[in-house]
Chains A and B, each alone.
Chain A
């Protein structure tokens, strides 16, 4: 009885203390190395705090959907989204805007990789012989690990992945896609080209066993998205200040968190292609 009351009280205090200070909170999709997510983005939080003169906090989340939900629920006001997650989030939060993207992001691409036992090699198109193999995507909500690869598979073969392949899996993230294809658990996989390049560079991939067989045409991907109601909560001009702070971020150490060369302005219409593709595939109503 007393224990119960105590606990409820404690919870209320905890909840109350969080209400007391209007902290500016942001998050990022957990697209790579989640163990480092907090360290990586803490530096960005410190930078933003200094630039915006208000308390800034980074919250790590576990899935693309959780990122979207946190943004939609106004528990975070700024998020580093992928193409698809950004489109979904903006659809759910009227007034929210894509404000900045990485220099590389307008021309992002996915790699299709194959285990060496398939005998496939790099080509201009996906070969017809992938019919009947096993295939893994990354996360279900990923642009480069799910949406665009699925789109191109449908484009080239006129079939859904389930019909085309013997088995279709979702590894959960890009690094695991590499591991699963390298071990031959799946014969094929599709992933974010930057994660692949970084893994190859770090010597984490045995390129004798797994290699890139096709790269997709480019598409717009990651971006910073801001909620539309910030000025009311954080003061006039806050949205502009956040936008400026993001765009002028040039410290290589900060940029390596993403990793991007730098940031350039973005707008919602830049991601129209992604939205169309998502609608076509049925990932968006």
Chain B
């Protein structure tokens, strides 16, 4: 077969290729399994040794040439017809701004509370939301099968009798007092869980801030001073505060702390139930039994502790009447803070 003649044939054939289908037929004719190149290759073994090398080289360059021709044609056929778009751009138009997120109102209030205590020398410590039965109850002088447990309905973990979702942030007291030595001044922000039916003032999950101070010669008057600074910082300078005797198993004496109603200024309104006072937190001097449980000598050290609901503080501060609003994450609500 005359290789030179094939070259000429190729030249002629490629001119007539105008579509991909035609190109495929062209490729098969020359490079296919029964194409010209394959035919030439098949006669190589029949040639004498001397002829083989030269003939082989010729076939190879023919093959390369074909690949080149097919490749070029393919490129030509693949080019999309040029479309013409009229580009208009108003460089004076303002851009589309990306909306900025912001801190959740509860985070804002939580940060504010912690910042106030930070300024008084308290450091922030956190603890796990899954707690041991001991840290949540026994270590805090809340014995098993005692009526004082009634106030703390609790979610227990399935299959783990001694583990629960903490029902208050007080277990961090036990943890911190075991790990560190007095003097201690700590605030503990965090989530707590209680199996309460959800309504305007209850949620199965809410936030607390716990605080405690342990040193020699800590008195009830120190507690009053610290909480006075706190209440005035959050609710304003004119706020009045009162301590009502109460009972908590982990403090003695214990008190509930009220502020004068921020809506009616103590005159009596629907928010304070005509009492003129709003309860904001519980507090007291740490029970000697709690000190004994964590290995602090109650003869040497005294201390106070307090705990407050963050939602409650936020609701009073902003006049919000439904706790569910915090957790529905309706942007119309969140954007107001």
A binds B: no
| Contact surface of A with B, Cβ cutoff 8 Å | none
Chain B residues engaging chain A, CB cutoff 8 angstroms: none
